[in-house]
Structure 1
Amino acid sequence: MVNTDSIRTVVGIIGNVISFGLFLSPLPTFVKIFKAKSVEEFKPDPYLATILNCIMWSFYGSSLVSEDNILVLTINGIGFFIEVFYTLIFFTYSNWNKRKKILIVLFIEAIFTVVVIFCTLHFVHTLKQRTMIIGIICIVFNILMYFSPLTVMRLVIKTKSVKYMPFLLSLANFANGLIWVIYAAFRWDPYLVIPNGLGALSGLVQLILYACYYKTTDWGEDRPQFEMSKV
């Protein structure tokens, strides 16, 4: 019989694939930004939040903090570089006010990262304690990553338009949260279950909003190449 560790590994690999899809899902948005040479009404919040989220989860998945979480480390390490790339594009095509906001947030994130890693490695000496401390921090920032689209969701409700809420990103958020909840359930890791459960819920709400406001959206020349009946 296949043991639970093997199943957990397979689920983790599937989670890596879905997470990779999540990280790549904003590509159509950045193609649009590149062509327009402007970020228009798109927000940098999700990408800035995800950078810090990836850093913290990479640290959590390392052998310095937890055991047997290499799949958490690998996908978040990859995600970090992808999100930095997105942020650089966003920075390039933003006005000065948005650039200033991006720089301030990145500076704060860098200082926070250095302080957390230094304090954890020098003042916390057991893996159990490190897992708990970094796990709680990861929960907070994973929630920020998943719920950072709230600013966009408010815009959707206000304008009755989903033009600036990418469908693929919402779908990937939902699927990603769900698969990592399953992964964490095999060895009951609450630090993975709680934020990813909320992430799946956030993605579901976004999909519901998309279904509600798709028909009232003025797409112009940007209508997606799929039918809502297939969603």
Structure 2
Amino acid sequence: MVIENAARNVVGIMGNITCFCLFISPVPTFYKIWKKNATEDFSPLPYIAAAQNCMLWVFYGLPFVKPNNILVATVNGVGLFLEFIYLTIYFIYTRKKQRLYVLKFMVAELVLMVIVVTVTLTCTHTHTKRTLIVGILACIFSAYMYASPLSIMRMVIQTRSVKYMPFYLSLAGFLNGLCWMAYALIKLDLFIAVPNGLGALLGAVQLILYGCYYSSTMWYEDDQKPKSEVQLQAPASTVAPGGGSSEFHSIAMSSR
């Protein structure tokens, strides 16, 4: 039992590191947005999904919901803070229509969290029931976060270009999913294992697509010259058990 707990803590720390890398991987994208004063074709969906994902996993990791999972709560708390920064930057530099889109989803997410917290704390009085309710919801939103890049993956295949699919975010999502899946399997926690297993799988697919279409991508906006730097776009995801999550979000930004 002692060895099992020690191994789980070590893997959890590794998961926190990969999750943090996942959360900061969108920085180059938002630097570009700030520099150009425009969000171009970057989608806010991965960041929106990652924010909801992080909120649920922070709640899941608190002692009165799921004891002995403080690593899940802390890393997703950091991720939530960063996702709000990303969404704020996106909100400032995007078009009015997109601003309304982002605002609508963020209000809906906050309302949902108020409902989840209120119902969980007032209607359930055991860790088992609270873990079940919050864990199921966190699994659903983790799957949503990890699946958010599917539309971009389709665009990559259609256009034979990975210009708007971030390499480092995909890599971080893949590694994050592997770490948190291992964390969950040491002391079986399906709520963490299932979404992160999905995240690792989708991250691997994104990396394969990146390798297949990198050479055919025109990095310059005039689509005539190869670009010297790889452009990154970013979670959401993935997040630690949950954290994740996901922009590609994958994020998330990673999980649990």
Name the TM tier (shorter chain): over 0.9
Distance in 2 (CA, whole Å) between partners of 1:225 and 1:117 is: 41
What residue is the counterpart of 2:200 in the other structure? 200
Distance in 2 (CA, whole Å) between partners of 1:154 and 1:13 is: 34
What residue is the counterpart of 2:254 in the other structure? none
Distance in 1 (CA, whole Å) between partners of 2:99 and 2:18 is: 30
**Which stretches in structure 2 are left out of the alignment for 5+ residues?**
221-225, 232-256
Give 1:173-188 correspondences, 5 Å limit: 173-188=173-188
Higher-helix-fraction structure: 1
- Paired amino acid for 1:194: V
What residue is the counterpart of 2:142 in the other structure? 142
Report the TM-score, using the length of structure 1 for normalisation: 0.95
Distance in 1 (CA, whole Å) between partners of 2:139 and 2:113 is: 15
Distance in 2 (CA, whole Å) between partners of 1:71 and 1:59 is: 12
How far does residue 18 in structure 1 lie from its aligned partner after superposition?
Answer: 0.5
What residue is the counterpart of 2:51 in the other structure? 51
Deviation digits for residues 202-225 of structure 1 (CA, Å, limit 9, x no counterpart): 101111111111111001174435
Number of residues of Structure 1 aligned to a counterpart in Structure 2: 226
- Paired amino acid for 1:47: Y
Distance in 2 (CA, whole Å) between partners of 1:26 and 1:204 is: 18
Give 1:148-159 correspondences, 5 Å limit: 148-159=148-159
Give 1:107-118 correspondences, 5 Å limit: 107-118=107-118
Classify the secondary structure of the residue corresponding to 2:32. Answer: helix
Report the TM-score, using the length of structure 2 for normalisation: 0.86
Distance in 2 (CA, whole Å) between partners of 1:197 and 1:17 is: 18
What residue is the counterpart of 2:239 in the other structure? none
Residues 43 and 152 in structure 1, CA contact (< 8 A), matched pair in contact too: no
Instruction: Please report the RMSD computed on the Cα atoms of aligned residues, expressed in angstroms.
Output: 1.5
What residue is the counterpart of 1:161 in the other structure? 161
Runs of 4+ displaced beyond 2 Å: 221-226
Distance in 2 (CA, whole Å) between partners of 1:128 and 1:225 is: 46
Distance in 2 (CA, whole Å) between partners of 1:2 and 1:49 is: 36
What residue is the counterpart of 2:217 in the other structure? 217
What residue is the counterpart of 2:83 in the other structure? 83
Deviation digits for residues 144-172 of structure 1 (CA, Å, limit 9, x no counterpart): 11111112112211211100111000001
What residue is the counterpart of 1:12 in the other structure? 12
- Paired amino acid for 1:56: L
**Which stretches in structure 1 are left out of the alignment for 5+ residues?**
227-231
- Paired amino acid for 2:106: L
- Paired amino acid for 2:229: P
Distance in 2 (CA, whole Å) between partners of 1:159 and 1:225 is: 17
Residues 57 and 72 in structure 1, CA contact (< 8 A), matched pair in contact too: yes
How far does residue 32 in structure 1 lie from its aligned partner after superposition?
Answer: 1.0
What residue is the counterpart of 2:92 in the other structure? 92
Classify the secondary structure of the residue corresponding to 1:64. Answer: coil
Cα 1:198/1:62, change in 2 over 3 Å: same
